[in-house]
Amino acid sequence: MTMSLRTLLGATMLVAAAGSASAQTTITVATVNNGDMIRMQRLMPDFAAKHPDIKVNWVTLEENVLRQRVTTDIASKGGQYDVLTIGNYEVPIWAKQNWLLPLENLGADYDQADLLPQVAAALTVDGKLYAAPFYAESSMLMYRTDLLEKAGLKMPENPDWDFIAEAAEKMTDKAAGVYGICLRGKAGWGENMALITSMNNSMGGAWFDMEWKPEFNGPEWKQTLDTYLKLMNNYGPPGASSNGFNENLALFQTGKCGMWIDATVAASFISDPKESQVADKVGFAPAPIRAGGSNHGNWLWSWNLAIPASSAKQDAAKTFVAWATSPDYTKLVAEKEGIANVPPGTRTSLYENEAYLKAAPFAPMTLKAIQSTNTQKPSDKQVPYTGAQFVAIPEFQAIGTAVGQQFSAALAGRASAEQALAASQTLTSREMTRAGYPK
């Protein structure tokens, strides 16, 4: 029986379609549930149009959960994810374990030399880039200009913690639901401990002495925790021990915070009138110093896209990483979302772009904070480690979170400052001794 031409053509088209579908590669991207990564998911039609042969599945998780899951997966070589969103803490540690694919040949238009030197250096091991920065941040003080003026105060060029306490008191109006200050309280080495470690650096303290002995029994940590608890207990929002970056962002955007000391990346979200009720009443200043000091305790953090060596779809994963961290992606965000909302802190060219500088009043402060962060000497003391808001050793992930739980308990009223510090000294000493650090 002879097949008709129409039937033959139809069968050919079905085979071609089936072949096209089978040729499509599906990659799984594990990412954090912050605004910039949610924005990227809205912009995925651009990637799909340029790369129809690659399908992207997203796994979007809260920060602490993300860290736990990707660490477990990569350490066990589970291969569950093809692209990981990880920080500059993990990158050098994991690269030395041969857990990550070096990112070479990202394309002629990628312009790796345009990456900010401080950011690229934190992601480079033995001359090779092991993760591509999606955005980078330091820390700064964000505040309500109208509330500061109402309080009869003027923001100093370099505010200290004494000024922060005075301003927080005068800005607080609990009857109106306005709190003088919002700070991270949620336990986690990258949540409350990022902020509190930075505070301790600014107070002249350190995690360890030169013999790797913890210093929670010293005066600097006591001053740090006392200051933190006084600010939050007297002038902070209720339930603060559950608040991380996202919760405080929502509080600030809805007019409930007078001041917020946190990541510079928040600046675009609190300055965007489409997202923030106080967008026209926001000011920016450096992170606080101690009275008479000069160390702002700036942190340096970047969220980066990396490819686990265990991925079976490395070429497709690399194509996605190059798209998501390229200059073209910056242009796409500027076109669709406004240039003030492009991912900050990664490229020198962004801070030479007059249109961006005009649209983003926080840009110079962000760049200055990033460039002034000294990860090689985070404290005024001599220390045996590098890192700003973290200690760049593999054990810190567990130790930092355990200490964060002690401090969060103190904020919730379940322990005193003295108890939290004593418990932190004991558990950190035990874990560091077990790991063979103290001399």
Percent of the chain with pLDDT over 70: 95
> Which residues sit opposite 143 in a β-bridge?
259, 283
Percent of the chain with pLDDT over 90: 91
Integer Cα distance of 321 and 347 in angstroms: 16
For residue 179, give the H/E element and its range.
strand 179-182
Give the residue carrying structure tokens 């200055």: 368
Matching CATH topology for 12-136+301-359 and 139-297+371-435?
yes
Q: Which two tokens stand for residue 46?
A: 């651009």
CATH architecture, range 139-297+371-435: 3-Layer(aba) Sandwich (3.40)
Integer Cα distance of 316 and 135 in angstroms: 21
Q: What is the mean pLDDT of residues 372-399?
A: 94
Integer Cα distance of 124 and 141 in angstroms: 29
Nearest to 415 by CA among 187, 145, 206: 187
What predicted TM-score, i.e. pTM, was given to this entire model? 0.87
Q: Which two tokens stand for residue 11?
A: 């069968």
Residue 16 has pLDDT above 60, yes or no: no
Binning pLDDT at 50, 70 and 90, where does residue 101 land? very high
Would you list the domain boundaries of the chain?
12-136+301-359, 139-297+371-435
Contact between 134 and 36 under an 8 Å Cβ cutoff? The reply is yes
Query: Residue 255 in 3-state DSSP?
Result: coil
Ordered strands of the 54-61 beta sheet: 54-61, 25-32, 83-87, 301-306, 132-137
Please provide residue 299's backbone torsions phi and psi, each rounded to the nearest 5 degrees.
-100, 165
- Paired sense of beta strands 139-144 and 25-32, if any: unpaired
Tell me the pLDDT tens digit for each residue of 46-92.
999 999 999 999 999 998 899 999 999 999 988 999 999 999 999 99
Q: Could you tell me which residues come within 8 angstroms of residue 357 by beta carbon, excluding any fewer than 6 positions away? A: 351, 363, 364
Integer Cα distance of 56 and 321 in angstroms: 11
What is the reported pLDDT for 2?
41
> Which residues sit opposite 257 in a β-bridge?
179
State the DSSP code for 60: E
Residue by residue, DSSP assigns 273-320 as: TTT-TTGGGEEEEEPPB-TT--------EEEEEE-BTT-S-HHHHHHH
Please provide residue 357's backbone torsions phi and psi, each rounded to the nearest 5 degrees.
-60, -35
Dihedral, 314, 317, 323, 327 alpha carbons, nearest 10:
-60
Residue 5 has pLDDT above 60, yes or no: no
Nearest to 114 by CA among 307, 353, 320, 274: 353
Report the CATH fold assignment for 12-136+301-359. D-Maltodextrin-Binding Protein; domain 2 (3.40.190)
Q: Could you tell me which residues come within 8 angstroms of residue 45 by beta carbon, excluding any fewer than 6 positions away? A: none
Binning pLDDT at 50, 70 and 90, where does residue 438 land? confident
Nearest to 29 by CA among 56, 65, 64, 61: 56
3-state DSSP helix/strand/coil % of the chain, to nearest 5: 50, 15, 35
Binning pLDDT at 50, 70 and 90, where does residue 141 land? very high
Q: What is the mean pLDDT of residues 20-46?
A: 88
For residue 257, give the H/E element and its range.
strand 257-263
What is the reported pLDDT for 108?
87
Please provide residue 239's backbone torsions phi and psi, each rounded to the nearest 5 degrees.
70, 25
What is the reported pLDDT for 11?
43
Residue 30 has pLDDT above 90, yes or no: yes
Mean pLDDT, the chain, whole residue set: 93
Residue 341 has pLDDT above 50, yes or no: yes
Tell me the pLDDT tens digit for each residue of 211-250.
999 999 999 999 999 999 999 999 999 999 999 999 999 9
